[in-house]
Amino acid sequence: MSIEPIAELTDISTSPPPTNPSVERDTLYEKFREKIVVNPMLDRTLVSYQGNQNTPFYHWFKYKEGFSEGLVHYLLKPFEPGTLLDPFSGAGAALFAASALGWQTKGIELLSVGIYATQARLAASRVNTQIFKQTVANLLPLNFAEYYDQAYSLKHIAITKGAFPEEEEQQLVGYITYCKQMVNDTDTQTLLLFAAFCILEDISYTRKDGQYLRWDMRSGRSLGNIPFNKGPILTFQEAITRKLKQIIADFEGICVQQSLFEDVTPPRTLLTNPEMYQGSCLDILPHIERSSIDVVLTSPPYANRYDYTRTYALELVYLGCNEEQVKHLRQEMLSCTVENKSKRDRLESYYKFLGREIEFDLINTTFQQQRALQEVLSILDTYLAQKQLNNPGIASLVRNYFYEMCFVIYELARILKLGGTVIMVNDNVQYAGEEVPVDLILSDFAQSFGLTIKHIWTLNRGKGNSSQQMGNHGRTELRKCIYIWEKENQ
């Protein structure tokens, strides 16, 4: 089924080509220019986590990497419920919104942060609210330090040491101990522990800030040139009381989120339960049955140096990850940081092990022959040799990102049913003043693997490049896009 916007689109095919044009990127732009249109129904709130800020469950835990459930409702309107896959499912926005509409949903997520949030939301859909409320009433007056047990202490890694005031970490560990030892109802225990997971940043000296954790001057850690004050740091008792009352209020229907298109389904209403796979989609996608998925709806990591293992370091430690496990996760992620090493040899061995050497060669060749991408890589390699990149890992980041996404897109085309659709949210990026047209390169991969490019929807306003890029190269507006690719019936 073809998906169309519900309002007239603005054609931007007469707009000038991308900033910093070059021969191969211009050629690729001309190839897809008629597909690039502004969809007036989209805005940054809808296409980002901001649309979920007042939605039950999503304002319990600040997970900023994803899109709103309202966007999912809009995008799925043209389709009859079937099987939906999100290979980068995060905290499960696509899965739960689609499940509430009657879709059978499957999610793949590498980080335990997303898996844990998904499990907590499933617990929220099942929990007996009276048992939960009574348990909360019993525990809130307690001094959790009295329940402290070293066995449940956080095993900090280098980037989280000293993150909490000592007395507040003692309260946190005592709370964990109490929940583990004194709360017998499984779903209630899961939600109580998730509440503590949700307030880690609130009681810490840190704040998530782009690519890393930013440390408050009160932490005693080494500070940057400009001392940072994050504002009030809540005590554990203040933070956990506020969070548990918020959860209870949502269960009682006090908070009702109005979507731009329709009411967003509250967290307790699910027609189906998501089926989850933990691991890299590079490993899991090849095992999904051919022609078994009706719709892929996803937002992969962007090629923007964002390191989830650093920004969610507190949460990973809370879930028991040690230093080696965090480093392993960083390498397993889709390459989006300057630290990621090439996965080419691993992928070649994996496809050979699966008896799919011919497919590996096809994907590898498709990557090598994408001329606009090779043009970008050549420029970045030159800048690297001339020491004009602000980080020497940028060229390999871009190379590794597209190499791995080429495999992802091949597998999505393989597992999609005839008539099926891929819907992908992503941003273009810029390095050293050179725009990397992520939307066009990925769409060209998709076309090479038999998908038809129906739309490359953009927002009315794009995303500005970074402040450092603006200082060196001027302000450039980069396209923030939703790609619609279809596997047409032959």
The answer to which of 93-107, 175-189, 423-437, 456-470 has the lowest mean pLDDT is: 456-470
- pLDDT tens for each residue of 287-325: 999 999 999 999 999 988 888 999 999 999 999 999 999
Residue type present at position 174: G
Residue type, 355: G
pLDDT tier at 270 (50, 70, 90 boundaries)? low
In 3D space, the residue among 140, 271, 117 whose CA is nearest the CA of residue 132 turns out to be 140
Non-local (6+) Cβ contacts of 142 within 8 A are 178
- 410-467 pLDDT, tens per residue? 999 999 999 999 999 999 999 988 999 999 999 999 999 999 999 999 987 644 434 4
Which of the residue ranges 232-236, 302-306, 479-483 would you say has the lowest mean pLDDT?
Answer: 302-306
Nearest CA among 1, 170, 194 for reference residue 91: 194
Residue type at position 478: L
Residue 226 pLDDT class (50, 70, 90 cuts): confident
Query: What's CA 483's distance to the chain center, in Å?
Result: 16
- DSSP, residue by residue, 16-35: PPPSS--HHHHHHHHHHGGG
Q: How far is CA 122 from CA 21, 76, 153, 247, 386, in A?
A: 48, 22, 26, 14, 52
> pTM for this structure?
0.88
Helix (H) or strand (E) holding 183: none
Across 349-362, average pLDDT: 98
If we measure between CA atoms, which residue out of 87, 160, 165 comes closest to residue 409? 87
Phi, psi of 463 (to 5 degrees): -105, 135
At residue 422, the 3 state secondary structure works out as strand
How many other C-beta atoms are found inside a 10 Å radius of the C-beta of residue 208?
A: 17
Q: Radius of gyration of the chain from Cα atoms?
A: 23
Domains of the chain plus CATH, in order, are 10-110+275-302+338-486 (3.40.50.150)
The alpha-helical segments, DSSP class H, found in 333-393 are 344-353, 357-368, 371-385
Among residues 182, 353, 203, the alpha carbon closest in space to that of 283 is found at: 353
